[in-house]
Structure 1
Amino acid sequence: MSSEPAREGIPAATIVIFRNATSGGPPEVLMTVRSRDMVFAGGMAVFPGGRVDPADFELGQKVAGEFADAMTPDEAAHQVAAVRETLEETGLALGLSGDITAESAAEARALLEREGALAPVLEAFGWSLDLDQIVPFARWFPKNERIPRVYDTRFYLANLGTGAVEIEVDATENTRLFWTTAQGALDMAERGEIKLIFPTRRNLERLALFGSFAEARAQAEAIPVRTIVPQVDTSGGKPMLTILEDAGYPVTSELLETVARG
């Protein structure tokens, strides 16, 4: 047995942003294509998000007790990171309350880029966090000693409602932002138009079950978030990468040889 300590994951947060489809039908979600130069998931289509910064933990510590469903400072920090990354990567001010307009959101995004933290933005614009807009959905921690950076990522849901919003890629970590249904993203991957890592594919399959944000939120609130650690199953003819059977995912395994890794 190895005496090496278990690898700790890099804390990260990602957010699945819903909007009503402009032509009716299933809701759309916002995805971004990461720059090929990025060490993790370079060139892959993912949901907006990133690592939790020290400033996120500092703000999370301050605000944790302010919410009705009092959350831990650690959870608050992850939700703060989800809010910050959304503003930084897309220009959308989600999880925030105050006098927010398209113009002020753009100014806040520019200030965030300069400051590198959300707290100065809140102070400058007189905004406050509204984390009731953020719904915990999943947590993925793909422990793999062969991957140099292993992220322990919490997934959240948020809803824009209307489709009449402007988004703009940050052009540093990402090269493209686009709206699509969850099934539409899976179809794009099948046609080779985008590439998906294992967690993103499984989450899109789960999201494709829902006909509305309300349905997604209801399932997220009904199934407690458990850390999903994919495992290799060699009991069959070919190795399979598997996940928990009872975490809300319709597909829980994939041939290891077909899995796209970050």
Structure 2
Amino acid sequence: MSASPEQTPGGSSPDARGTPDGIPAATVIIFRNGPEGEPPEILMTVRSKTMTFAGGMAVFPGGRVDPADFELGRALSSGIDPEEAAHQIAVVRETLEETGLAVGLAGDIDAQKARGARALLEQTVALAPVLDEFNWSLDLAQLTPFARWFPKNEKIPRVYDTRFYLANLGTGAVDVAVDQSENTHLFWVSAKGALAMADKGDIKLIFPTRRNLERLALFGSFEEAKAHAEATPVRTIIPQIDTTGDRPMLRIMEDAGYPVTAELLDSVARG
């Protein structure tokens, strides 16, 4: 096989602190109950066309892991690995910033307080001052590790090492609003519905998002998705270009829980 890594990171933001090991990023797949008898819905966001990475693409909420996230992760006494905690903290922070949802948090939380917390976060950038101001605490048990995508390529200076998580809102009776900077549209849709939208050209998907939607479409509830995630070890997925056939393919490993593991290279949408 003649193969080389392909740049296909998740929905994350540029970060100047990237290393040869990649720029740390995190994203979250937020579930809510679908209409009665229908599959669950997930929250997706359409990135602004002006964004350097994945401009105009439909992705899951998330972004880079900031130094303040690592600092807060090291300060936790919950027993979780500090690096893993930092990624989950980034999910909490980015979700509040991008959507207005308070995911992975515990305390006296309602819609009004969430709006206030979001406004404060825009000023402080870091999550710790928000927790102090509203007397909230982190509840990272709300997040379930789902996947990790790292298109490692020494020829590309900015590559994201992105961890994916699952979270559940249950009834989903909440308000969401775009941040008016990185994102232009937020919408709830089933995984199958998102794939159908992409096939009709209503939205555009990069390679990892499409693969993750295909995996999510296997499940009839958040509980099924969570059980699958907990039973499937998270392995770092590094897409490879396979030129052994008649036409080049972009491939991922066969045993990471994904029903579709290859796509024609010339049809792949890239960030």
TM-score normalised per structure 1: 0.94
Greater RCO, 1 or 2 (C-alpha within 8 Å, sep 6+): 2
- Where 1:209 maps in the other structure, the secondary structure is coil
State the secondary structure of the residue aligned to 2:193: helix
1:171-227 deviation digits (Å, cap 9, x = unpaired): 100000000000100000000010000000000000000000000000000011110
Q: How big is the alpha-carbon RMSD for the aligned residues of Structure 1 and Structure 2?
A: 1.1
Other structure's SS at 1:137 match: strand
Match of 1:232 in 2: 241
Indicate the residue corresponding to 1:51 in structure 2. 64
Q: Select which of 101, 104, 118 maps to 1:95.
A: 104
Q: Which residue of 2 aligns with 1:252?
A: 261
Count of residue pairs the alignment pairs up: 253
Cα distance in 2 for partners of 1:189, 1:62 equals: 42
State the partner residue of 2:226: 217
Runs (5+) with no aligned partner, structure 2: 1-18
Aligned to 2:208: 199
Distance in 2, Cα, partners of 1:254 & 1:161: 33
Spell out, residue by residue over 1:2-29, the C-alpha distance to the aligned partner (whole angstroms, 9 max, x if none). xxxx932110000000000134310000
Match of 2:143 among 134, 137, 154: 134
Report the CA distance between 1:164 and its aligned residue.
Answer: 1.2
Distance 1:257 1:145, change over 3 A: farther
The answer to whether residue 27 in structure 2 is matched with residue 18 in structure 1 is no
Name the CA distance, whole Å, in 2 between partners of 1:219 and 1:158: 14
Return the alpha-carbon distance in structure 2 between the equivalents of residues 183 and 146 of structure 1. 35
Aligned partner of 1:7 in structure 2 is 20
Percent of aligned positions that are identical = 73
Give the SS at the match of 1:158.
Answer: strand
1:173 pairs with one of 182, 185, 209: 182
**1:3 corresponding residue in structure 2:** none
Aligned residue type for 1:17: I
User: What SS does structure 2 have at the residue aligned with 1:32?
Assistant: strand
User: Do the aligned partners of 1:40 and 1:149 also contact (CA within 8 Å) in 2?
Assistant: no
Residue 39 (structure 1) aligned with residue 48 (structure 2): no
User: Where do 5+ consecutive residues of structure 1 fail to align?
Assistant: 1-5
The residue identity in structure 1 corresponding to 2:94 is E
Change (3 A) 1:24 1:146: farther
**Cα distance between partner residues in 2 of 1:71 and 1:233:** 37
Q: Decide whether the 8 Å contact of 1:242 with 1:254 is kept in 2.
A: yes
Q: What secondary structure does 1:12 align onto? A: strand
Given candidates 43, 46, 50, the residue that maps to 1:30 is 43
Pair 1:75 & 2:87 matched = no
Equivalent of 1:241 in 227, 246, 250: 250
SS of equivalent residue, structure 2 residue 72: helix
1:190 match: secondary structure: helix
Corresponding position of 2:12: none
* Letter of the 1:137 counterpart: F
Alpha-carbon distance in 1 for matches of 2:157, 2:168: 33
Match of 1:152 in 2: 161
Distance 1:46 1:175 in 2: 12
| 2:14 corresponds to | none
Code of the residue aligned with 1:175 in structure 2: it is T
Q: Deviations over 1:106-133 (max 9, x none)?
A: 0000000000010000000000000000
CA–CA separation in structure 2 for the residues paired with 1:175 and 1:11: 24
| Correspondence for 1:60 among 66, 73, 86 | 73
